[in-house]
Amino acid sequence: MLASKLKKGDTIGVVCPSDKVNDEDIPEIKEAERLLKERGYNVVFGKNIYKNTTGYGATAKEKAEDINEMYANKNINAIMSLKGGFNSNSVYEYLDLNTIKSNNKIICGYSDSTSYINYIHEKTDNIGFIGPNFKSLNAPDTNYYLLNEMLKRLESNYYDLATDDSEFRMIKEGQAVGELVGGNLSLTTGLIDEIDFTNKILFLEEFSFESPSAMVSNYLYRLRQKGVFNKVSGIWLGNYEGDVAIEKILMDTIEDMNLNIPIIKSDNFGHIERKITIPLGVKAEIKDGKIKLVEDYLK
């Protein structure tokens, strides 16, 4: 299902399904709000985003309530995750999937947001986006790269998944077409029993601060053991700054599997300051070591 293009005057709703908001987050939140308003957008915050009911954030029900209300509210045109964290998967059973499915709209975030955004896409067929969180839009050191890239890809159908300064490398030759699925490796691994990976192009990145090389191996072997690599049509690796390159860890994991799928690596998504916004559930093509979208994702 296609989401509606974002246009000037639209309203972006902000939810916080992961970690609690800390005092040091407030200036960045206010600046991100200012930047979006400067670009012509309105911003509405979920009523529960500042709650710390549990001591580590709002309850799962409170988080899900904000998400459900943003989908149900006809005046909200897009939804963004406020920040990352560790437990957005807690909202699954409290999401009103019927309301969400009948009110398809842009929803965007990364890192821990990998969980609930992939879950929503899988259960409703609505388009989701792995891109910046709301708080990270405040990035003057990169001339607001995240904000510019996000709006470029949410305001119109933009098929190129590379930018002029992106570097791509072919790890394993081949060609593939498939719907995009994935995001953060550790969170994608946690979605094994929720997602159908058949004929999908799996894109993966990981945050080295939280996941050393041996842990990345753990996650990748878990994907292997659950048959994920036998189902996907291709793999697209993003940023990982650990002691051992993520492509080496992957090849160590699958070297004896005789997989006939292409694998590429780029430096333009992940836990980095300069990352693109990637739509979930949209067909892409891997060819000649690059990747691009081959169908519309916005109407």
198: left (phi over 0), alpha (psi -120 to 50) or beta: beta
Q: Please give the domain boundaries of the chain with CATH numbers for all domains.
A: 11-154 (3.40.50.10740), 168-293 (3.50.30.60)
Count CB neighbours of 182 within 10 A. 27
Please tell me the predicted confidence (pLDDT) of residue 151: 98
Please tell me the predicted confidence (pLDDT) of residue 62: 98
Q: Are 264 and 238 in contact (CB under 8 A)?
A: no
The edge-to-edge listing of strands for the beta sheet with 283-287 is 168-172, 263-266, 234-237, 200-205, 176-184, 283-287, 290-293
Please tell me the predicted confidence (pLDDT) of residue 165: 83
Please tell me the predicted confidence (pLDDT) of residue 263: 98
Per-residue pLDDT of the chain (299 residues; tens, 9 = 90+): 899 999 999 999 999 999 999 999 999 999 999 999 999 999 999 999 999 999 999 999 999 999 999 999 999 999 999 999 999 999 999 999 999 999 999 999 999 999 999 999 999 999 999 999 999 999 998 999 999 999 999 999 999 999 888 999 999 999 999 999 999 999 999 999 999 999 999 999 999 999 999 999 999 999 999 999 999 999 999 999 999 999 999 999 999 999 999 999 999 999 999 999 999 999 999 999 999 999 999 99
Q: Are 117 and 107 in contact (CB under 8 A)?
A: yes
List all residues 6 or more positions away from 174 whose beta carbon is below 8 Å from its beta carbon: 234, 260, 261, 262, 263, 286
Cα gap 181→128, rounded to integer Å: 10
Is the pTM higher than 0.85? The answer reads yes
